[in-house]
Amino acid sequence: MQKLVRGTHAFLADYFAPHRELFEQLATNGQRPETLFITCSDSRIVPNLITGAAPGELFIVRNVGNIVPAENRGPMGGVAAAIEYAVRVLEVENLIVCGHTGCGAMEAIVHPERAAHLRYVPLWLAEAQQILPILAERYPDLTGEARLVAAVEENVLVQLENLRQFPFVAKRMEAGELKVSGWVFQIATGDVFEYDPSVGQFAPIGRPSSRPLAPVTAR
């Protein structure tokens, strides 16, 4: 805790002070983020650090496994509320679902026995159980780390499909007002991979798709 307290002091002196005007504007004018960023609760994922975004530029939703429960499941609590607010009220222009390598949630889906002693985690991860038949159908020969990476990638794609089920998301996409993207952050290298539907692969963002993170069946 003392480390965190020292951190708040350092923030005030080293970051807030030279950016005081920005924070005053945010306090006065409110937030106008351009991007809704949905990612995992994993402590190794720091959206503003990864993207270089300043305060006020990202509207962030975090949960175990960066999951978007399907719209037809009924009341979904905070995740659906945050998506609706970002898209309908804040009118964000970009929507990103960002998974990551070494995801414990995906490990628990691929190896459910590892979370069997927990009460709430398996209930939440049931929202992404379609990952298992996808892996069985498309990647029957993958094992170990390669299978986990495939699960991470496919999970991002599943959550993108779930997002498109929201009428207000689909409407703004069809109008060309909202761009939806799928990312995977590779923790060990710092690389960010984006799904390119034209080639059916996750490739280094902003660079040619010659070095995919792992093979993904084109959809």
**pLDDT tens-digit map of 14-70:** 888 999 999 999 999 999 999 999 999 999 999 999 999 999 999 999 999 999 998
164 is catalytic: no
Is residue 144 classed exposed, middle or buried when 0-12, 13-18 and 19+ CB atoms within 10 A define those classes?
exposed
Q: Look at residue 89 in the predicted model and tell me its pLDDT.
A: 97
76-123 pLDDT per residue, tens: 678 999 999 999 999 999 999 999 999 999 999 999 999 999 999 999
- pLDDT band for position 212 (cuts 50, 70, 90): low
Q: pTM score, two decimals?
A: 0.91
Q: Which domains does the chain have, with CATH numbers?
A: 1-30 (no CATH), 33-204 (3.40.1050.10)
Q: What is the mean pLDDT of residues 124-128?
A: 92
Answer yes or no: 98 catalytic: no
Residue 114 annotated among the catalytic residues of the structure: no
6, 32, 88, 103: which one is catalytic? 103
Other beta carbons less than 10 A from residue 104's beta carbon: 15
CA distance linking residue 44 with residue 119, whole number of Å: 24
Active-site residue, 44 included: yes
For 189, the 3-state DSSP assignment is coil
Q: From 141, 133, 121, 145, select the one nearest 40 (Cα to Cα).
A: 121
CB 42 within 8 A of CB 100: yes
